[in-house]
Chains A and B, each alone.
Chain A
């Protein structure tokens, strides 16, 4: 039981981080504002969780200008995808254990 819990990735303990990953897994590039609307979080909150995921190398950031407005988008890296899939598998295992 303890072993199983250890398989859960610490990076995904936060609901918001898990949410960011869930959205990115099924989409190509997602904009900052779109993530904000979907997850219902504040700018600062979202930015700090994104920074954490980026530090881990789970997501990739693209900054560019659309006209005069800065536009930031994110996409999941292959490391991020693997980590997320392992986390999902661990969650499913936990559920199975509990019956």
Chain B
């Protein structure tokens, strides 16, 4: 009777091996959830420090503003930079922890051809976006930084998604759309940031957790 099951079993084996060897499937949904929470805390802290309505960082002369501000208090600027850095470091740390845990369970090496492919494809648009935003800052175009980070982050995720779970691609697409909408409503960057890096990470994190982690 074994022959009856064989073709299906073989196909299953093939599919599983192809996935394990070409896609980095050990990304954990919980990493997304916690990164999202950190981002929300970070956004709340920024909101509190700037001590103004979230849309206050805009040029008031035009309906949606050009996003160009000439002067930003250096104390506020340092606080925002430190705030962002802390959120980033905490997210990387927690993502490493959950991903390592899942990789051990799935018996997929954390550092293999798959994660390497994914990281390389993630980092090219990400580093480009980082430099792009530094130049925007240099030109004083602060308002354009929020949409630019969202769009470049989305592109990076879509690029890396081919080497990982499909939800990563959808998350990337969502970030791109959000970034483009944010570009229209210049000056509301903090809200869009909280949505993109906070809410979207949590939503997709839960989705990934339910579909792949349990």
Contact = CB atoms under 8 A, between A and B. Distances in A.
B4 A91 contact: no
A12 to B, nearest CB: 8
Contacts of A23: 17-18, 21
Interface in A4-63: 15, 18-19, 22-23, 25-27, 30, 34, 37-40
A37 B18 contact: no
Contacts of B14: 18-19, 22, 88
A19 B13 contact: yes
Contacts of A25: 18
User: Chain A contact residues (Cβ within 8 angstroms of B): what range?
Assistant: 20 to 34
Contacts of B107: 37, 40
A83 interface: no
Contacts of B18: 22-23, 25-26
Interface string B120-141: 0000000000000000000000
A98 B10 CA distance: 15
A41 to B, nearest CB: 12
A62 B18 CA distance: 21
B4 A98 contact: yes
B113 interface: yes
A48 to B, nearest CB: 19
A26 B7 CA distance: 20
B117 to A, nearest CB: 9
Contacts of A30: 21, 113
Given A37-B109, A91-B7, A95-B8, A27 B21 contact: yes
A45 B212 CA distance: 32
Contacts of B113: 27, 30, 34
A37 B110 CA distance: 12
Interface in A46-99: 88, 91-92, 94-95, 98
15 contacts: A15-B13, A18-B10, A19-B17, A22-B14, A30-B21, A34-B21, A38-B17, A38-B21, A40-B107, A88-B14, A91-B7, A91-B10, A95-B8, A95-B11, A98-B4
Interface of A: 15, 18-19, 22-23, 25-27, 30, 34, 37-40, 88, 91-92, 94-95, 98
Interface of B: 4, 7-8, 10-11, 13-14, 17-18, 20-22, 107, 109, 112-113
